[in-house]
Structure 1
């Protein structure tokens, strides 16, 4: 399956948030319902405008995965759970590394699948924070792409 990279328009933000929420519910089992409710409007109204967005779409042009980048940092990468395991995350990650010069990502330590994915793709842990950027008690690993 060919996964082309596409831009995201502001009118598609609700669709992006739907992908985010489905992905988070499938992978972030450590989050409480209140946390998802807390982050959802922030994603929609603040975070999406703060990053450069790219996505992959299905054959019906629906967004099935997306990335957000700011200052060479990967700020978000989420794949709809019904499309996981199909190379979409790798396609998006390769794109932002090669085209947007991404070399760092912060990831929830408790999201073991994501940690494994980034390490498999050449990232290594360079630091750890006890809380996330919102001060919530979810440890964050700071990863950097190691050039060989």
Structure 2
């Protein structure tokens, strides 16, 4: 089930974001992600439009939007590969006419996921915080 996030979901969302980031972004030191945990909880997530994927009463994933920008889409490692990410992305598509996001080029699994779900690469840039190349991706309702 997808629902609007509640403030008491923040701990679970930050945990999912961190755990999934460390695994998916193995090319970035875990200490980098750890340093952003407080800001995710106090700034980034509360300022976004958030939806959580709830499974058996537990938060298993979430998507964060800022207008048409997908700021975050993360699924708990133990829940990945079961459709939660696709459902969250489809939910965002049902709310917006266009979506934009950035995914690290070295996160091949994410790039393939987004391409499989209708997004296309439109360019690339270097992330100023990590120095890693990000692929700019876009989806538009047809």
Give how far 1:124 is off: 1.1
Q: Distance in 2 between matches of 1:50 and 1:102?
A: 20
CA shift, 1:87, in A, is: 0.6
Instruction: Tell me the alpha carbon deviations over residues 45-89 of structure 1, each in whole angstroms, 9 at most, x when there is no partner.
Output: 111022100011121x11001000011111100000111110110
Relative distance call for 1:8 and 1:26 in structure 2 (3 A) is same
Structure 2, unmatched stretches of 5+, are none
> Which shows bigger deviation, 41-50 or 99-108?
99-108
1:120 — aligned with what?
Answer: 116
Which residue does 2:58 correspond to in 1?
62
1:80-99 equivalence runs, <5 A: 80-99=76-95
Aligned counterparts, 1:36-47, within 5 A: 36-47=33-44
Return the TM-score normalized by structure 2. Answer: 0.92
Give the structure-1-normalised TM-score: 0.89
User: Where in structure 1 do 4 or more consecutive aligned residues deviate above 4 Å?
Assistant: none
Aligned residues: 142
Greater percentage in strand: 2
Is 1:128–1:139's contact at 8 Å kept on the other side of the alignment?
A: yes
Structure 1 portions without partners, runs of 5+: none
